[in-house]
């Protein structure tokens, strides 16, 4: 089978993003850490799985071909990325995949005892909902909601998951939350893992087809999802723990994010980030107050101090006012991380209840708890 290198490299680059680098996943019998090349008719399927998800990238062929090989994913994809010839030829012997390009290379086929490894496909046969979502919405989840999932102050397993329903996506910790609002035409509520959400970067601009459903496996109902766009298919087994799903205080989190606060002001994002960068240069203390800034909101601007009030900057509002001085102690790194995730030129701060502020832009609202300086 002869392939055009440019198209093949493009497909391999995409599939590389789905190879799980978790060193714990070394069970070859289940196809982990391996790549399956499967040609049938005029399509070559590149498949990888980690047991939780199954990713398939399709490459159109010029002629009908038949080939199946399961090889070490990282080594094969590393070689393909370095090929400089215009074409590459793939053939198989009894126990190896032969690659001919700049030279000739042999990849041992992966066997489970005396049989080539079979990657376990994840199917969605019992469909409960089908709809489309724009790829930009998926990227928004990846870029904004992931901040909470990777937080170091997570205390519950559910806080490592992304909650999605017909109103959008939310993630949370004990001290913060990200409410990403969008509309989905479904009544399903699901929890996604970070590994699955990372695969959202495989999809390009445009609609992504989503199918939700379930499978009965050994008497246990598994929630499953399929995401498909052109030549890319991602299927995954989702968390099916109803108690965990119901433990998320969805109404309370959205209520806090959408609350009408006494004060609301807007800032220029670039200027505000530059201010935080300068003040963080002086955050060298190892005390419990490390990273905390004192925000004193006035009529036309906010004065931001470090926790010792030794250094400060004044930042003018782009719009809005705060008639009575309001003081809030906030984590500077948290505010910075929120603002780095947006390309919006302005953002809004809402505050006034002495508990939390809300940083918002576009359809994203971030709840940040106020701190106590000790």
Looking at residue 287, what is its pLDDT?
A: 72
Per-residue pLDDT tens for 11-56? 999 998 888 876 455 554 455 678 999 998 999 999 999 889 999 9
Output DSSP code: residue 142: I
Question: What's residue 19's pLDDT?
Answer: 87
More confident residue, 21 or 317: 317
Name the band, by pLDDT with cuts 50, 70 and 90, for residue 359: very high
Helix (H, G, I), strand (E, B) or coil at 117: coil
Q: Are 176 and 151 spatial neighbours (Cβ–Cβ below 8 Å)?
A: yes
Both 55 and 138 in a single domain? Answer: no
Is 90 exceeded by the pLDDT of residue 277? yes
Q: 374 in a domain, yes or no?
A: no
Please check the confidence at residue 91 and state whether its pLDDT lies above 90.
yes
- Which residues have C-beta within 8 Å of that of residue 198, sequence separation ≥ 6? 17, 142
More confident residue, 97 or 308: 97
pLDDT tens-digit map of 287-311: 777 889 999 999 999 999 988 889 9
What confidence category does residue 137 fall into, taking pLDDT thresholds of 50, 70 and 90? very high
The pLDDT confidence band at residue 71, using thresholds 50, 70 and 90, is very high
For residues 59-65, average pLDDT: 93
Which of 24-28, 80-84, 143-147, 156-160 shows the lowest per-residue confidence on average (mean pLDDT)? Answer: 24-28
DSSP state of 214: E
Structural domains counted in the chain? 3
User: What pLDDT, on a 0 to 100 scale, did the predictor assign at position 27?
Assistant: 53
- Average pLDDT (141-159) is 93
Mean pLDDT of 251-268: 97
Instruction: Supply the pLDDT for residue 289.
Output: 78
Give the pLDDT score at 122: 94
Is 37 within a domain? yes
Question: Which residues span the domain enclosing 294?
Answer: 263-369
Both tokens assigned to 372: 């106590």
> Which domain CATH number covers 9?
3.10.150.10
Same domain, 99 and 133: no
In a shared domain, residues 228 and 345 = no
Separation CA 184–CA 168 (nearest Å)? 7
Looking at every residue in the chain, the average pLDDT score rounds to 93
CB 313 within 8 A of CB 257: no
- Collapse the DSSP code of 371 into the 3-class scheme (helix H, G, I; strand E, B; otherwise coil) and give the result: coil
Q: Which of 94, 116, 138 is the last residue of a domain?
A: 116
pLDDT at 285 over 80: no
Domain boundary among 116, 148, 167: 116
Residue 71, classified by CB atoms within 10 Å of its CB into exposed (0-12), middle (13-18) or buried (19+), is: buried
On the 0-12 / 13-18 / 19+ scale of CB atoms within 10 A, 183 is: exposed
Residue 69 predicted with pLDDT over 60: yes
d(CA 374, CA 332): 16
Query: What is the structure's pLDDT at 219?
Result: 86
**Ramachandran assignment for 19, one of left (phi > 0), alpha (psi -120 to 50 degrees), beta (any other):** beta
Query: According to the model, what pLDDT value does residue 288 have?
Result: 78
Provide the percentage of residues in the chain whose pLDDT is more than 70.
96
**Domain check: are 138 and 238 in the same one?**
yes
Query: Is 121 inside a domain boundary?
Result: no
The SS3 of residue 159 is helix
Question: What does the pLDDT read at residue 31?
Answer: 54
Distances (CA, A) of 371 to 283, 334, 374: 16, 12, 9
Instruction: Yes or no: say if 269 and 346 are a contact pair by the CB < 8 Å rule.
Output: yes
pLDDT band at 259 (very low <50, low <70, confident <90, very high): very high
Looking at per-residue confidence, does 307 or 134 come out higher? 134
210 near 130, Cβ under 8 Å? yes
> Mean per-residue pLDDT for 122-126?
93
Beta-carbon contacts of residue 347 (< 8 Å; ≥ 6 apart): 266, 267, 269, 272, 339, 359, 360, 361
Q: Are residues 217 and 295 in the same domain?
A: no
């Amino acid at each position: 089978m002869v392939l055009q290198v440019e198209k093949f490299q493009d497909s391999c680059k995409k599939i590389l993003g789905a190879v799980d680098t978790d060193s714990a996943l070394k069970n070859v019998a289940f196809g982990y850490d391996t790549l399956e090349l499967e040609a049938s008719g005029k399509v070559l399927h590149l498949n990888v799985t980690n047991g939780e998800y199954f990713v398939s990238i399709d490459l159109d062929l010029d002629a009908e071909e038949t080939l199946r090989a399961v090889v070490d994913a990282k080594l094969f994809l590393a070689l393909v990325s370095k090929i400089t010839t215009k074409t590459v030829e793939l053939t198989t012997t009894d126990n190896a995949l032969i690659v001919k390009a700049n030279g000739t290379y042999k990849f041992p086929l992966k066997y489970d005892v005396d049989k080539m490894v079979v990657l376990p496909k994840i199917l969605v046969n019992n469909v409960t909902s089908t709809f489309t979502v724009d790829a930009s919405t998926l990227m928004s989840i990846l870029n904004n909601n992931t901040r909470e999932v990777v937080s170091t102050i997570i205390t519950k397993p559910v806080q490592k998951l992304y909650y999605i329903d017909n109103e959008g996506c939310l993630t949370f910790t004990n001290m913060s939350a990200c409410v990403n609002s969008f509309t989905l035409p479904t009544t399903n509520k699901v929890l996604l893992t970070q590994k699955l959400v990372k695969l959202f970067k495989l999809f390009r601009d445009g609609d992504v087809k989503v199918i939700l459903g379930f499978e009965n496996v050994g008497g246990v109902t598994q929630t499953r999802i399929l995401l498909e766009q052109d030549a890319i298919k991602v299927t995954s087994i989702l968390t099916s723990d109803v108690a965990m799903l119901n433990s998320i205080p969805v109404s309370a989190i959205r209520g806090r994010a959408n609350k009408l606060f006494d004060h609301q002001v807007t800032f220029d994002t670039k200027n505000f980030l530059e201010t935080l960068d300068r003040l963080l240069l002086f955050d060298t203390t190892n005390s419990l107050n490390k990273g905390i800034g004192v925000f004193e909101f006035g009529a036309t601007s906010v004065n931001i101090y470090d926790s010792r009030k030794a250094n400060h900057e004044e930042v003018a509002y782009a719009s809005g006012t705060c008639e009575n001085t309001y003081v809030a102690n906030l984590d500077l790194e948290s505010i910075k991380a929120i603002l780095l995730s947006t390309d919006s030129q302005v953002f809004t701060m809402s505050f006034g209840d002495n508990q939390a502020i809300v940083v918002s832009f576009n359809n994203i609202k971030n709840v940040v708890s106020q701190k106590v300086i000790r």
